[in-house]
Chains A and B, each alone.
Chain A
Amino acid sequence: MKCVVSGGNIKILARAIQMLSKIGEEMFVQPQEDSLSFRSVNGSNSSFADITFHENYFSYYAYEDLDESDSLKCKILIRSALTVFKIPSLINKQIETCHIQLDANSTNLCFILKYKNNIIKTHLLPILDCETIRANYKKEGTVNHLCIQPRVLNDVVQNFQQNLLEITIEVLKDKILLRNYIDETSNLSNETRTQLVFGMGEFDEYKINSNTTITFCLKELRAILHFAEILAQPIHIHFDCAGRPIVFICKTLGVESNLVLATLNPDDDLGSQSTTHTRPNSVLKNSAKKPTKAKGKIKSLSKTVFGKLANKYPTNTNTEKIESSDKISNASETSSPNNNNKFNATNSPRVNSAKVIASNSNTNKRENDNSSKQNAFSSLLKRKSNQEIHSPDGGDKDDLVQNSPPKQPSKKAKLIFKKCFQTTFNPESLPGYNNIEVEDSGESD
């Protein structure tokens, strides 16, 4: 495979590699008959990015030996690709063309940069492996579809803290709410909670068929926003519901970038702390309390969700034969149910959700606080110092927030002595049964 990128397109290539570098450690290069794909997946397999350059993006593109299609796919370290385009702001002024060359059974992927002053730089990027990946996801026909200019979304996301990991989006019929997702491990008092509301007027397209709340990683979103900026095309966002992947697509005639992110499946839609309800009405009850309940669950979920994906993903993907990317998404949708579950796998570790029961009633107190603010703060302070005092006067049971069950201190002891009560238990089978540590006391004296 041989291709030439020239002029302003080099900058796009550089940004593409930058974006992929924010997703994963390795980059999969996959030449096809009329296009070249760069793909990357992150360590926990919760996000996947695919940037495909079509023939008309290149000034020259030759796939050459069609027979050896298998030997052309390869995996390189993204860090090595990044060094090729180290100074992206400078390159489009100085570099005239960039050749990418990949020979069958070669050990290196070759980038040749030709500068205006007749300097030629050749980068040989070592090939780690001959494999490729692909992800199964559907780009069309999702329940919800949004289309927004990257600049607008970027402005919106700017309001959140730079180091924020996950973001929750709640879509309603006419507006969108963005919240920072508060992890249950973090203490509420160390986190700013942010919520941003913006209307459908800011979208190019806004089709919401069902109100949904989804949570996903912000870092990857930022990466595609950065890339989409240079393409100057709107981003299409496709998603169904929590737990199902969300797909971001930004394309021009020559380039198409897809980003698939796993979303958190917290069983129901109470991902993050809804912060903005201040009125002491029923809305408050639901929105302010549920998060406390969700806390316990989500922790395990976020680990399992992404963890589960990690197991499933590579085994399925690496071994499969390459097909053209368009076919994959549609065709395999029905053919391999196993694959469809990839992101859906998030559904299975949901068992633990049922056992979250306990007594937490300081939330009831909270309502009183709202009506009489005078006491509010003194009691809040007290609560703070005592680390959540639970008063057992749990008023309305329906709204009662249920905490995770208190730890059973006797659990281990029970486990140890349980054996003694089993009818089939023979103490003589234990090692050291005959040893007497202490002689019987009493009687003989």
Chain B
Amino acid sequence: MKFKCKMNDAGSMRDFTNVANTVARMSKQCVLRLTQNSIYFNIADDSMAMVWTKLDKNHFFVDYLVAGKSVEFNEIYMELNTGMLAKSVTSLKTVARSVKIKLTNKQQPCLTFDIELSSISAESRLCIHDVPVTIIPQKKWSEYNEPNIERYDISLEMPQFKHLRSVMERIKSMSPILILSADTNGVLAFKVDTNAATITVHFPNLTVLDCTSNNEISASVDIKKFHAFLAWEAVHPTAIKCNILNETVININLNLENYLQIKYYIPAIES
């Protein structure tokens, strides 16, 4: 089992840090999946919203090497503490020149970050962080698979983050449940129900990318989980897409120039 890679580019290191920080804000633990083409940060938990973040190796890394247990299972899955990961990579955002990431065995499996920092003298500082990880055996890999949803009832563009944020900040404390509904005219509605009032916010004129029926599609979700997704603004996605399967699941797709993809699943709850 072997993994190593290197990041030189300041932009990539910044994006990587942003991803690590946002993942840390979502969950305490995450699963890092290393494949031949990409690395994934998965947040998968029964009670939590689920996130699949995919980073394209060609954009982020040089000297990328993953060797799994065998040719057949040429991937590595590991679980790690997101807080430790995020703290270890903070220096990447500003002062680092390059970083090597590798899987090491120092008394226990560790994800090691060899960070070369700029310094005032000719030789640069070398900072090494060992983040302990737990390797996930192959037989448990299937637990971390992405939900397989063939087609959603409706797919449409999401409004801009700043509009979402201003709405969500106001309604998030009103009710534990957010009812999200969309129709084929490109109107996305956020609705909260309280004893005193019912508030619905409409975002009109959104592009509908795909839909299966002309009916209004809606799903009720935990408002905190939906609000949590706003943290992904930190990575400055270029496109946001919202997919809804009627009363089953909401899937939000964030994309940054095709090298960073975030899929955010929020299961619907009974309303």
Contact across chains for B2 and A159 when beta carbons are under 8 A apart:
no
Q: Give me the interface of A with B, judged by CB distance under 8 Å.
A: 149, 152, 155-156, 158-159, 161, 188-199, 201-202, 273, 275-278, 288, 292, 366, 369-370, 373-374, 376-378, 380-381, 384
Q: Interface code B113-140, partner A: CB below 8 Å = 1, 0 otherwise?
A: 0000101111101111111101101000
Q: Which of B2, B87, B104, B127 contacts A195 (CB 8 A)?
A: B127
Contact across chains for A161 and B134 when beta carbons are under 8 A apart:
no
B1 located at the interface, meaning its Cβ lies under 8 Å from any Cβ of chain A in the complex: yes
Contact across chains for B119 and A198 when beta carbons are under 8 A apart:
yes
Interface SS of A by simple majority: helix
- For B122, the chain A residues whose CB sits under 8 A away are 201
20 contacts between A and B (CB under 8 A): A159-B91, A189-B132, A191-B132, A192-B87, A192-B88, A192-B130, A193-B129, A193-B130, A196-B127, A196-B128, A199-B119, A202-B119, A202-B121, A276-B130, A278-B105, A278-B106, A292-B107, A376-B1, A381-B135, A384-B134
Total interface residues in chain B, CB < 8 Å: 34
Contact across chains for B109 and A192 when beta carbons are under 8 A apart:
no
- For A202, the chain B residues whose CB sits under 8 A away are 119-121, 125
B12 located at the interface, meaning its Cβ lies under 8 Å from any Cβ of chain A in the complex: no
Contact flag A189-B105 (CB < 8 Å), given A161-B87, A377-B1? no
Q: Which of A152, A188, A193, A373 contacts B105 (CB 8 A)?
A: A373
Contact across chains for A188 and B107 when beta carbons are under 8 A apart:
yes
Contact across chains for B125 and A380 when beta carbons are under 8 A apart:
no
- For B105, the chain A residues whose CB sits under 8 A away are 278, 366, 369-370, 373, 376-377, 380
The complex places the Cα of A93 from the Cα of B132 at a distance, in Å, of: 48
- For B109, the chain A residues whose CB sits under 8 A away are 376-377, 380
Nearest to A377 among chain B residues (CB) is B135
Give the most central of B81, B91, B121: most A CB within 10 Å: B121
Q: Which of B104, B125, B134 contacts A198 (CB 8 A)?
A: B125
Contact across chains for B126 and A190 when beta carbons are under 8 A apart:
no
Contact across chains for B2 and A373 when beta carbons are under 8 A apart:
yes
Contact across chains for B108 and A194 when beta carbons are under 8 A apart:
no
Contact across chains for A277 and B1 when beta carbons are under 8 A apart:
no
Nearest to A373 among chain B residues (CB) is B1
The complex places the Cα of A380 from the Cα of B84 at a distance, in Å, of: 21
Q: Give me the interface of B with A, judged by CB distance under 8 Å.
A: 1-2, 69, 81, 84, 87-88, 91, 95, 104-110, 112, 117, 119-123, 125-132, 134-135, 137
Q: How far is the CB of A172 from chain B (nearest CB, A)?
A: 13
The complex places the Cα of A161 from the Cα of B120 at a distance, in Å, of: 22
- For B131, the chain A residues whose CB sits under 8 A away are 192
Contact across chains for A195 and B128 when beta carbons are under 8 A apart:
yes
Contact across chains for B132 and A190 when beta carbons are under 8 A apart:
yes
- For B132, the chain A residues whose CB sits under 8 A away are 188-192
Contact across chains for A159 and B127 when beta carbons are under 8 A apart:
yes
The complex places the Cα of A105 from the Cα of B57 at a distance, in Å, of: 73
Q: How far is the CB of B88 from chain A (nearest CB, A)?
A: 6
Q: How far is the CB of A306 from chain B (nearest CB, A)?
A: 27
The complex places the Cα of A397 from the Cα of B119 at a distance, in Å, of: 43
Nearest to B132 among chain A residues (CB) is A189
Contact across chains for B1 and A194 when beta carbons are under 8 A apart:
no
Contact across chains for A194 and B130 when beta carbons are under 8 A apart:
yes
- For B130, the chain A residues whose CB sits under 8 A away are 192-194, 275-276
- For B119, the chain A residues whose CB sits under 8 A away are 152, 198-199, 201-202
Q: How far is the CB of B131 from chain A (nearest CB, A)?
A: 5
The complex places the Cα of A369 from the Cα of B105 at a distance, in Å, of: 8
The complex places the Cα of A381 from the Cα of B125 at a distance, in Å, of: 34
Q: How far is the CB of B271 from chain A (nearest CB, A)?
A: 39
- For B108, the chain A residues whose CB sits under 8 A away are 188-189, 380, 384
The complex places the Cα of A198 from the Cα of B127 at a distance, in Å, of: 9
Contact across chains for A378 and B129 when beta carbons are under 8 A apart:
no
Contact across chains for B95 and A155 when beta carbons are under 8 A apart:
yes
Give the most central of A192, A198, A376: most B CB within 10 Å: A192
The complex places the Cα of A62 from the Cα of B233 at a distance, in Å, of: 59
- For A376, the chain B residues whose CB sits under 8 A away are 1, 105, 109
Q: Which of A155, A190, A191, A374 contacts B1 (CB 8 A)?
A: A374
Nearest to B95 among chain A residues (CB) is A155
Q: How far is the CB of B114 from chain A (nearest CB, A)?
A: 9
